[in-house]
Amino acid sequence: MARHAGAADVSLARIAVRPAAVRRKIESWLAEQDGTDAIVLLARPEWTDEPVLTVGNTPVRVVPCPTPIAARAALVDRRADEKLVLLTDLPDAELGDGLLAHVSMQTGRSVDPWELVRQAFGGQTRLDLDSTLVRTGRWVADALTDLAPVEGWPPPAGTILTRDHALRHLAGAVLKLDPDELDGAGLLHWSTDPRTQLRFVDLPDEWAGGIASFLVEAAGPVAVPVVAAVRAGHGVDAIALGLLAGVLWPRGGGSATDVETAVARTRLEPRFGGARLTEAQATAYLEAAEAWIYRALDGDDQTCHEAHRMLRRAEEIAAEIDVTHRLAASDLLPVGFTQRMRAFADAVRLALPDPGSQVTTAQRIEQAQQRLAEVEAHRSADRKRVETARMAVRLLRWLAAPDTPAPDTMLAAVHRQVRETGWVDRARLDIFAGDVDARVAEAYRTLHAVVDGRRARHDRHFAELLQDTTAAEREPGAMLRVEDVLDRVVRPILDNGRRVLLLLLDGMGTAAGIEIAEALGRNGAWTELTPSGGARTGVLAALPTVTAVNRCSLFTGRIAVGDRTAEAKAFRTRFPGSVLLHKADLRTPAGLAVEPDVAQALGDPAVPMVAAVINTIDDALDRSDPGTIEWGPDTVNGLRDLLAVSQDRVVVLLSDHGHVVDRGAEAVLRPAESSENRWRPAVTEAGDGELLFTGSRVALGDGRVVLPWREEIRYGPRKAGYHGGAAPAEAVIPLLLFAAHDEAAVPGWSGAPVSSPEWWREPLRPTPAGAHSAQPDATVDGRPPTGAVVGRPGSGATGRSTRRPRQPAQEVGLFELTAAAQAVPSPQSAAVSPAPPAAGPPADPARTLADALLASPVYADRRDSRAPIPDDRVAALVAALVAGNGRATLDTLASRAGVPAHRITGLFTALRRLLQVEGYPVLSLDPDGWTAKLDIPLLIEQFGLDRQ
């Protein structure tokens, strides 16, 4: 019996059917296997696709039939091997029972798009449709039908096909993305593939618009600019455009927009099809673009290359819309880093001494520190250049501090080199190496000249003290000399039953020693020891400061000159059973990091001391550039490996002399009777920058030599670096002791405090209103520091020393080791007391708040009676943090609390636990892992300090 089509079927019959819908109906019909060869589909009788479809292995011919006659003719003409689809908008009554008797189900079937959707998502399973999905529009059904994969869409988890499930899979298929990755990152990844963008652009406008609207729901505001760029034909630039959003819509920029920014935004609009981005869209866009770049930079070579291409493209677009000069606002674009470096360089120049300025040096240095923070925050920063910038700021802070009084004794001069100016030298070497950008390089050159002005005065004063001390044959007292080290430092360790690894790094000066000590301290395997837990000390070299004199004097225990044969003979005589290794002894066969005989000696309990001479630094003076090398276990050949197999030995690390680097165009070549680098026989009088040295500690030239104190003077052929002169960088030998987690390894020595000076580790704080920071010296020897280098020929500086009155012997006590190997500290280097000194006068706000904390009942309740932190130590730590506006480095906290540097991490953890009331983060650590942060308002609230 024929069935007549209903009103709904007639209505559907007037709609043009899409090829995909016909295919889906055919698939369903063939799956029924009802034995019929034809089917009537009620739709507008139009067909523009292929006349014959292959569904499975079955050919199916589609014939539009506007009249019953056309339908009958199609049935008659059907080929035996084909199935037949009759597309008609005629009701069953007009087709007639005779015709319908030859078709499936003897009636016309409607092509309901939502029924096809159900079929695509569940096959034969009946699904209910979410009403919000149907209300979205007919386009969804058509798109889901047309774009359905051969195997159909993944069915929903329940019996309801939700709008989110349907549209998420539809959008994922169009964008070739996992449906669960329709976020900002996924959209930007899609934008890198032009082929999938074309697939989206070629969609009917209604489909593309509907999918775009859903993407905004799924991915947030970032979808608006990304999709707009794709539809405007600029999709491949989507990531680059996102990076520029940070320039034209800066985060935290507020609502006010300057004319230049407004014009640039207008120039960018065509790339988004005329769309104007909102602040929220631009911010989300920028964050997504940055996140994509970060991931790509950490990826394989291909994705990393793609990230760099995007960065370059962003800069090209910036040039096209004329905003290149504003790229400093970008945390990622390389041009932005260049601009930040130039802004930093300008701030450095402004921070240099200028007596006529109305702005204090402190305020200008604070501005330089701010520019440095912007440089450090740039994600495309060259880390080497950033580190040099940090050194420049440190030197500015050093210049801003009042110059310390000139040392009265040789010991004090040695300590100034070890504890202060050695750090200056380390920073000075970095800025001497310079920067690739001419504008930055010029700022560094100017800074270097000013630093050299003060530094040269220190060098001359050191040399004059050395000249006087040497000629007067003055007793060393507490001062260590190179010939004293083995008897006064090493032998007491051996007498105490500990074995020693003595590492002599030929040519290591105080700057290199600082780098090596920091590197060893960072790895956590070694604890640095200092006399009585005080500041580091140093050793005075013999003259001239060359290897043949100082290394032989070290091993013989007296001023002597000799080669390695003489050194080995003296060493064996003084330390029977010990082993001395030179360069040839440390060479290893293939596959071995430590030569077998060396490893055996280090592990042998019967070998009290193993001494190794490592020539890496001294060799660099001839063949490379010691000024650009950061010395440490990875750059000093064999150092890391020897330490790795010596964990049960006390490590004594020192050198035979330091060095100065070649000064390039500033270097001065003086004619001399010999070709030595930095000393000459006293055949003629000392000239500018030179002094005459005489005495028993002068091992060459018959006890009379001329040595330069100015670093730029040399006598021999040009090299990368030199030694032999009287500059403190050459004449002061660093002395470093390390033990593997054993502070009691050496009698009279204990865990070292923070070694860096305040200006090295802490930023200069803003000067209170009405106060003026100390200005650095504007002149050196009566001349501006930015002028000619002190002591140049013709500058008027005298080369002869003004004889100083004879000074008493050096202070006794700092390094006087008794027979029992007990060190007696001098006033200059007394042990750091367990309780820190007072943080300041009572009126100091930082100390006032710290005292209020100690008086708080909440504090009293929280003190840990099992392992309390001493109250004065808590006060010192809190006061240091408050004085720094809530921030301080861990090194500074260790210094303020009077604890060894390696203990500060545990102390910080204990303090954080003490201050963390009810879990609130009163005290925390920056992501850099080195800067402590105190939330001062939260501290006041949690401990009730506002009620006291």
In this predicted structure, the answer to whether residue 146 has a pLDDT above a threshold of 90 is: no
Buried b (16+ CB within 10 A) or exposed e, 77-105: ebeeeebbbbbbbbbbeebeeebbebbbe
User: Average pLDDT for residues 838-857, to the nearest whole number?
Assistant: 74
> Which conformational region is residue 481 in: left (phi greater than 0), alpha (psi within -120 to 50 degrees), or beta?
beta
Least confident of 303-312, 416-425, 772-781: 772-781
pLDDT at 253: 57
In this predicted structure, the answer to whether residue 714 has a pLDDT above a threshold of 50 is: yes
* HEC letters along 538-575: EEECCECCCHHHHHHHHHHCCCCCCCHHHHHHHHHHHC
3 state DSSP class of 725: coil
Length of the chain: 948
User: Average pLDDT for residues 396-421, to the nearest whole number?
Assistant: 94
Task: Say how far apart CA 249 and CA 241 lie, in whole Å.
Answer: 12
Pick from 602, 426, 577, 357: nearest CA to 502: 602
User: Average pLDDT for residues 461-485, to the nearest whole number?
Assistant: 96
Task: Say how far apart CA 752 and CA 14 lie, in whole Å.
Answer: 92
pLDDT at 115: 83
Pick from 945, 944, 939, 946: nearest CA to 920: 939
User: Average pLDDT for residues 30-57, to the nearest whole number?
Assistant: 90
The amino acid occupying position 846 is: A
DSSP bridge pairs for 722: 660
CB 496 within 8 A of CB 746: yes
CB 611 within 8 A of CB 592: no
CB 380 within 8 A of CB 332: yes
CB 156 within 8 A of CB 127: yes
Task: Pinpoint the alpha helices (H) of 624-671.
Answer: 639-644
pLDDT at 365: 94
pLDDT at 24: 83
pTM, full prediction: 0.76
CB 414 within 8 A of CB 733: no
Task: Say how far apart CA 819 and CA 753 lie, in whole Å.
Answer: 26
Quick one: pLDDT band at residue 224, thresholds 50, 70, 90? Answer: very high
Q: C-alpha angle with apex 108: 107 to 113, nearest 5 degrees?
A: 140
For strands 704-708 and 680-681, give the pairing. Answer: antiparallel
Structure tokens at 489: 């430092």
DSSP bridge pairs for 738: 528, 651
C-alpha atoms less than 13 angstroms from C-alpha of 461 in its C-beta half-sphere: 22
CB 25 within 8 A of CB 39: yes
CB 36 within 8 A of CB 109: no
Q: CB atoms < 10 A from the CB of 195, how many?
A: 7
Tell me the CA distances in angstroms from 199 to 238, 346, 470, 539, one per residue in order.
Answer: 17, 51, 86, 75
C-alpha atoms less than 13 angstroms from C-alpha of 910 in its C-beta half-sphere: 17
In this predicted structure, the answer to whether residue 812 has a pLDDT above a threshold of 70 is: no
Task: Say how far apart CA 683 and CA 219 lie, in whole Å.
Answer: 83
pLDDT at 124: 52
Task: Say how far apart CA 898 and CA 876 lie, in whole Å.
Answer: 9
Question: DSSP class of residue 353?
Answer: -
Q: Select the highest-mean-pLDDT range: 553-557, 897-901, 918-922.
A: 553-557
The pLDDT tens digits for 560-599 are 999 999 999 999 999 999 999 998 888 888 888 888 989 9
In the chain, the percentage of residues whose pLDDT exceeds 90 is: 59
In this predicted structure, the answer to whether residue 800 has a pLDDT above a threshold of 90 is: no
In this predicted structure, the answer to whether residue 510 has a pLDDT above a threshold of 90 is: yes
Residue 444 is inside which H or E element, if any?
helix 438-471
User: Average pLDDT for residues 789-793, to the nearest whole number?
Assistant: 33
Q: Give the alpha-carbon dihedral of 148, 154, 158, 164, to 10 degrees.
A: -60
User: Average pLDDT for residues 644-653, to the nearest whole number?
Assistant: 93
In this predicted structure, the answer to whether residue 829 has a pLDDT above a threshold of 50 is: no
The pLDDT tens digits for 317-374 are 999 999 999 999 888 999 999 999 999 999 999 999 876 666 778 899 999 999 999 9
Backbone angles phi, psi at 933, to 5 degrees: -125, 125
In this predicted structure, the answer to whether residue 10 has a pLDDT above a threshold of 80 is: no
pLDDT at 867: 63
In this predicted structure, the answer to whether residue 924 has a pLDDT above a threshold of 60 is: yes
pLDDT at 843: 54
> Which conformational region is residue 314 in: left (phi greater than 0), alpha (psi within -120 to 50 degrees), or beta?
alpha
pLDDT at 818: 32
Quick one: pLDDT band at residue 831, thresholds 50, 70, 90? Answer: very low
Quick one: pLDDT band at residue 48, thresholds 50, 70, 90? Answer: confident
Structure tokens at 685: 């009088």
Higher pLDDT among residues 787 and 652, named by residue: 652
In this predicted structure, the answer to whether residue 797 has a pLDDT above a threshold of 80 is: no
pLDDT at 356: 61
For strands 816-817 and 823-824, give the pairing. Answer: antiparallel
CB 515 within 8 A of CB 622: no
Structure tokens at 351: 């921070």
CB 586 within 8 A of CB 477: no
In this predicted structure, the answer to whether residue 7 has a pLDDT above a threshold of 60 is: no
pLDDT, mean over the chain: 86
pLDDT at 744: 86
In the chain, the percentage of residues whose pLDDT exceeds 70 is: 88
The pLDDT tens digits for 92-137 are 999 999 899 999 999 988 888 888 888 888 765 578 899 999 999 9
Residues 6+ apart with CB under 8 A from 180: none
Tell me the CA distances in angstroms from 35 to 29, 31, 429, one per residue in order.
Answer: 10, 11, 92
DSSP bridge pairs for 41: 87, 109
In this predicted structure, the answer to whether residue 299 has a pLDDT above a threshold of 50 is: yes
Q: CB atoms < 10 A from the CB of 742, how many?
A: 15
Give one DSSP letter per residue of 194-242, joined into a string.
Answer: HHHHHHHHTS-HHHHHHHHHHHHHHH-TTHHHHHHHHHTT-GGGHHHHH
Least confident of 237-251, 535-549, 831-845: 831-845
pLDDT at 948: 60
Burial-class residue 585 by CB neighbours within 10 Å (0-12, 13-18, 19+). middle
The residue assigned the tokens 């330490």 is: 643
In this predicted structure, the answer to whether residue 609 has a pLDDT above a threshold of 80 is: yes
In this predicted structure, the answer to whether residue 798 has a pLDDT above a threshold of 70 is: no
CB 30 within 8 A of CB 76: no
pLDDT at 561: 97
The amino acid occupying position 452 is: D
The residue assigned the tokens 């990622």 is: 332
Q: CB atoms < 10 A from the CB of 571, how many?
A: 22
In this predicted structure, the answer to whether residue 933 has a pLDDT above a threshold of 50 is: yes
CB 400 within 8 A of CB 774: yes
The pLDDT tens digits for 613-630 are 999 999 888 877 777 788
In this predicted structure, the answer to whether residue 271 has a pLDDT above a threshold of 80 is: yes
Backbone angles phi, psi at 767, to 5 degrees: -80, 130
pLDDT at 868: 80
Question: DSSP class of residue 692?
Answer: E
Q: How many helices (H) and strands (E) does the chain have?
A: 40, 29
pLDDT at 288: 93
